[in-house]
A and B are shown apart, each in its own frame.
Chain A
Amino acid sequence: GESVGLHLPTLSVQEGDNSIINCAYSNSASDYFIWYKQESGKGPQFIIDIRSNMDKRQGQRVTVLLNKTVKHLSLQIAATQPGDSAVYFCAENYSGDRGSTLGRLYFGRGTQLTVWP
């Protein structure tokens, strides 16, 4: 079964607020984590990734935090915009699956983010 899960299936925020999407994982061997965004009718889109030797990584308006002690991952979106409305997935990977290619990703169930004006 899947080893990655989400705390909340839905999240509603007001435009301009910050959003925090959480994810829990159970495989302590996982050493690489990725966040994807999926808009309706489209395939998932890469947002940001983080390796297990880091606990924080920032991108443009997004920050990913990794807490290996409690096996928790979060995605923070600053100044959330209507265009951020989508389903957000976390995914995990471990080096046992990865060689010259990425290997298998284990996806969480996703969180539906809705941004209202």
Chain B
Amino acid sequence: KAGVTQTPRYLIKTRGQQVTLSCSPISGHRSVSWYQQTPGQGLQFLFEYFSETQRNKGNFPGRFSGRQFSNSRSEMNVSTLELGDSALYLCASSPRNTGELFFGEGSRLTVL
């Protein structure tokens, strides 16, 4: 069974640009969560989606947005990039409401 797939794995952007990251959950998993990981702040919750609906949102500015499609695939978008947005963005899927999240390897974003 394929794991959680995130694309792209690495990307470099400049300040002011926008970026879209993609996540394909494990087949059959309907819940997808996104986390930002930085050395300074650690792992921070961005959002959670289930059946195309955002169920929870973390404390990030409105520049961070996401969506989920009918096939459970999810995307997140960051507009007007800032240097501080440089981070590893992790997507996780789950078949149920437990902590047994299955994380992808992440998309490493560098903002110059």
Contacts and interface: CB of A to CB of B under 8 A. Distances in A.
Given A42-B105, A43-B103, A97-B56, A102 B48 contact: yes
A82 interface: no
A101 B97 contact: yes
Interface residues of B, number: 27
Contacts of A44: 43, 90, 92, 101, 103
B99 A105 contact: yes
A109 B97 contact: no
Nearest to B102: A46
Interface string B14-36: 00000000000000000101010
Contact of B98 (A2, A49, A109): A49
Interface in A15-41: 32-34, 41
Nearest to A48: B99
Contact of A49 (B42, B100, B102, B104): B100
A108 B35 CA distance: 13
Contact of B50 (A41, A46, A101, A110): A101
Interface in A94-113: 97-110
Q: Is the interface of A mostly helix, strand, loop or mixed?
A: loop
B55 A93 contact: no
A101 B55 contact: yes
B42 A110 contact: yes
B43 A107 contact: yes
A45 interface: yes
B56 A104 contact: yes
Nearest to B48: A101
A103 B56 contact: yes
10 contacts: A33-B99, A43-B92, A43-B103, A43-B105, A46-B100, A89-B42, A91-B43, A97-B56, A101-B97, A109-B42
Interface of A: 2, 32-34, 41-46, 49, 89, 91, 93, 97-110
Given A2-B44, A43-B90, A46-B99, 15 more contacts: A2-B41, A43-B104, A49-B98, A49-B99, A89-B43, A93-B99, A101-B56, A101-B94, A102-B94, A102-B101, A103-B97, A104-B45, A105-B33, A107-B42, A110-B42
